[in-house]
Structure formats: structure tokens, C-alpha cells
Copies of this chain bind each other. A is one copy, B any other.
Amino acid sequence: MDNPTRPWTMQQIADAAGVSVTTVSHALSGKRPVNPQTAARIHRLIDQFQYVPDAGARRLQSGRSRTIGLAVPDISHWYFGRIARGVEDAANEADHGLVVTSTSNADPRREARCFTMLTTRAIDGLVYASSRSTAEIEQLARAARTAPLVLSDENIDSLDVPSVSTTVYEGARDAVTLLKTLGHERIVAIAGYQGLPSTLERTRALHEVFPGSLTFHGDFELASGYRIATELLAADVRFTAIFAHNDYMAIGAMQRLQEAGWRVPEDVSIIGFDDTDSATMVTPTLTTVRKDMVEVGRRSGLLLLEQLAGTPGSAQSSVLLPTELVVRGSTGPAPRAPRA
């Protein structure tokens, strides 16, 4: 019994080819001329043995793991899955691996995992997508000094870190302008986490068109939209339209109002944000603001890889991707009188 399928080492290839490891290394990297015949022999052996250089040894020598990290609140969410897919695409195109960490689950060890991986150099850089308030800024700033970092989906101005985000202000403005055009006057916002930049921007856009409209903060889950709608009904608040900061909360609110006998869009118009798959599954279909989250992820990955490659010009730049209002069935002309 010999060793159980141990991978081949470069030394073994060198021995088989009758050359030194140095030559094999250079035949592989091309960083130094190698006799064509020798090179051919080496490559034949490599193919035959299915030899692949050991990642750990390479990493130790070169200082690069050829792996990047992605931190998201929860990888199982549609939204962050899209981002992850984009980052992965970018990473793989550059022949890098992607380590994913879900941060939001109360376990602080897990919170710190991605930053630890940066210092252990298990990853060369990190794409950070958080949807919580900006409490961990300190940690991010420290991480940014250690290794390349890209902020994804949110831009924290106080942090001098490259970021990729979307024109949520313009998107929100388009959305509420539509409501205005339709004659609505009393709007209620079901917003995202308080203090989150993208929440603030959308609220700003809302207030520019409808000053003084009510804002309630949810957690981006369907249940919170449902709950807020329940509170609205109980408190007998008068409104003819709801502007939600994501589709799930919009759908939750829509469900609750429909249960209470409201007709959408005859009695109330509802607008979401993101354009998730669900937006076209509900009845009526949901008017929403589309963001291409796969693209957000892809650009985030590219930005990080640029930093890693050390392209100097592009560093510190930030990318802003467009949003698009998608008008569907959940919005319509304001009713004569708001329903009680």
C-alpha cells in the first residue's frame, strides 16, 4: 500500500523529467526561457500526472492566496445571493476563489471571521456588504489599512474606501414622482434600517416630493411590512400610497391591506424596491425600482481585484450603478378620498 492518492509535487515532476524543480517552475510560469524540448517534456508529464501546484505553498511564497472574501448579512437571502453571484463571476474570471461569510447571526466570532481571514491572509481582500447601521465602521477602517477592501451596495462617506452602490436617491425620486403624477398626496414610507445610508437617501427623496410624510422603519423582511401595515390600520392612519424600501416589505404590506379588504391599486398604490422575482408573482404585480445586484457584486469584485493588481489610477474610485423604475400593476390614480 503506497500513499493514498497524495497529490504530486513539483519535485516528482522534476525527477520524472530529469530536470530541477527550478526548471519546472519556470516552464510553468514562463518567467524565464526554457528549452522548448524540455518544456514540452515537462508539460507532457504535468498533463499525464494531472499535476497542479499546491495552493498553500504558493501562497506562502508569493504572499497571495488568489482568494477573495465576501461578507454579507445572510447568503441565503435572494438579495445577497445575487451580489455573491456577481462577486464570484468577477473572482473566477481572474482565477480567484471566493470565501463567503454570513455576518448577521449574533455570533460575534462569526462577525470577526472575515476580518480574521484578512490577517491570516487566507484571503487577499474583502468585499463587504452589510445592511446594518454603520456601527462596525471602526473595524472596517482598520481592515482597510491591512488589506484591500470594497464596500458593496452601501457607501459610507466617512470611510475612505472604494465602493459600489446604486442610484437609490434617483430611483426613490422616480418612484415618488410617479405617485405625485398619479395624484397621490398622503404617502407612508416603510423604510429600511434607520441610519443606513441608502435608507437616508430614499427618505430624503421622499421628503423632497412629499414633505412631512410618515416613515416607519422595518427590517427588509416581509413580516415587517405586514406588521407596519397592521399598525397603520389599527391607528387609522390615512394614506393612499405606500413607498417601501424593498419588495418584500411592500408585499407584506400589500398582503395585510388586501386581507383588510383594500383593493390594490384602486384603494391604495404600493411601490417596492429591488425588483425581485417575487415582484411579478404577486397579484397585482408590483411596481418597483430595479437594481441589478449581480452587477453590483460583479463591479465590487472587479474593483477589489484591481486594487489587488495594484493598478494605481483606478484605486479609491467608487462606482454608482443606475436604477430603473418598473411600473406594474400595484400603482394607479389616487382614489377620490383616502380610505379609512
Q: Interface residues, chain A, CB within 8 Å of chain B?
A: 5, 7, 50, 52-57, 59-60, 65, 67, 74-78, 80-82, 84-85, 88, 92, 97-102, 107, 110, 113, 116-117, 119-122, 145-146, 222, 251, 255, 277-278, 281-283, 294
Expressed in whole angstroms, the minimum distance between the Cβ of A23 and any Cβ of chain B is 21
For the complex, what is the distance from the CA of A110 to the CA of B98, rounded to whole Å? 12
Inter-chain contacts of A54 with B (CB < 8 A) = 60, 120-121
Are A74 and B65 interface neighbours, CB within 8 A?
no
Expressed in whole angstroms, the minimum distance between the Cβ of A150 and any Cβ of chain B is 18
Q: Which residue of B lies closest to A76 (CB)?
A: B85
Q: How many copies does the complex hold?
A: 2
Inter-chain contacts of A5 with B (CB < 8 A) = 145-146
For the complex, what is the distance from the CA of A311 to the CA of B200, rounded to whole Å? 52
For the complex, what is the distance from the CA of A72 to the CA of B150, rounded to whole Å? 25
For the complex, what is the distance from the CA of A255 to the CA of B50, rounded to whole Å? 50
Starting from the known contacts A81-B81, A92-B101, A98-B100, 6 additional A-B residue pairs (CB-CB under 8 Å) come to A52-B120, A56-B65, A74-B85, A76-B84, A88-B100, A281-B281
- Among the listed B7, B74, B102, which residue makes an inter-chain contact with A119, where contact means beta carbons less than 8 Å apart? B7
Inter-chain contacts of A98 with B (CB < 8 A) = 99-101
Expressed in whole angstroms, the minimum distance between the Cβ of A133 and any Cβ of chain B is 23
Are A56 and B121 interface neighbours, CB within 8 A?
yes
Inter-chain contacts of A146 with B (CB < 8 A) = 5, 7
22 contacting pairs across A/B (C-beta < 8 A): A7-B119, A7-B120, A7-B121, A7-B146, A52-B119, A54-B60, A55-B121, A55-B122, A56-B60, A56-B121, A74-B85, A75-B84, A75-B85, A75-B88, A88-B101, A92-B113, A97-B99, A98-B99, A99-B99, A100-B100, A251-B281, A282-B282
For the complex, what is the distance from the CA of A84 to the CA of B50, rounded to whole Å? 29
Inter-chain contacts of A85 with B (CB < 8 A) = 74-76, 102
Inter-chain contacts of A110 with B (CB < 8 A) = 92
Expressed in whole angstroms, the minimum distance between the Cβ of A156 and any Cβ of chain B is 21
Are B88 and A81 interface neighbours, CB within 8 A?
no
Interface hub of A56, A74, A121 (most chain B Cβ within 10 A): A56
- Among the listed B92, B102, B283, which residue makes an inter-chain contact with A283, where contact means beta carbons less than 8 Å apart? B283
For the complex, what is the distance from the CA of A116 to the CA of B80, rounded to whole Å? 26
